[in-house]
Amino acid sequence: MSTTVHVHQSNVSPYSKTNTLLLCLFLGGFGAHRFYVGKSGSAVALLLLTFCGFGGIWAFIDLIMILTGSFTDNFGRYVSSWDGGPQRAAPVVSVTTHPPPQQAPPPPPPQKQADEMFCNTCGALSKKAETFCRNCGAALQK
Ligand SMILES: [Zn+2]
């Protein structure tokens, strides 16, 4: 008697059957193989059962399922490939770091030269030699 399991390609879990089997063999009581395939919920349940002394049976059943290729991952895909199923291409993350733009130094505040003075009316800089402010036309007070 022989059973042939036809597994659709897209139903193959990317998790390796080898890893799942080994984890179940050695750490099955801790739910390691279920953690591995993403079934963390049932993995915790298995772990708790182990503390009660029943986890070994569950792990053994899982072991049979892994061997027969009927063990599934958290997405219901069969962990049936010894090397893991089709791997999704790792997303290409290109991080381009741009140096911060060079901050142009702020324009220096108008420096009052010896022959200049600030207009008392508008604050603009005017030549001391001039009588009236070039900006507002007010008479410069010297
Ligand atoms: Zn002025």
Backbone angles phi, psi at 78, to 5 degrees: -75, 130
In a domain, 62, yes or no: yes
Cα of 105 to ligand 1 centre, how many Å?
A: 28
State the distance from the centre of ligand 1 to the C-alpha of 132, rounded, in angstroms.
Answer: 8
Centroid of ligand 1 to alpha carbon of 4 (angstroms): 98
**29 inside domain:** yes
Q: Is residue 131 in some structural domain?
A: yes
Residue 117 lies in a domain: yes
- Judge whether 84 lies within some domain: no
Evaluate whether residue 90 is within a structural domain: no
Determine the distance separating the centroid of ligand 1 and the alpha carbon of 111, expressed in angstroms. 16
- Judged on CB neighbours under 10 Å (0-12, 13-18, 19+), 138 is middle
Establish if 76 belongs to a structural domain.
no
- Give the residue numbers spanning the domain of 61: 10-68
Q: Is residue 24 part of a domain?
A: yes
CA of 127 relative to ligand 1 center, distance in Å: 11
Chain centroid offset of residue 23 CA: 27
pLDDT per residue over 65-119, tens digit each? 999 999 999 999 999 998 876 665 555 566 667 777 777 777 777 677 888 888 9
Domain end residue (candidates: 32, 52, 68): 68
Using the mean position of ligand 1's atoms as its centre, give its distance from the Cα of residue 142 in Å.
13
Domains held by the chain: number: 2
Tens of pLDDT along 41-67? 999 999 998 888 877 888 999 999 999
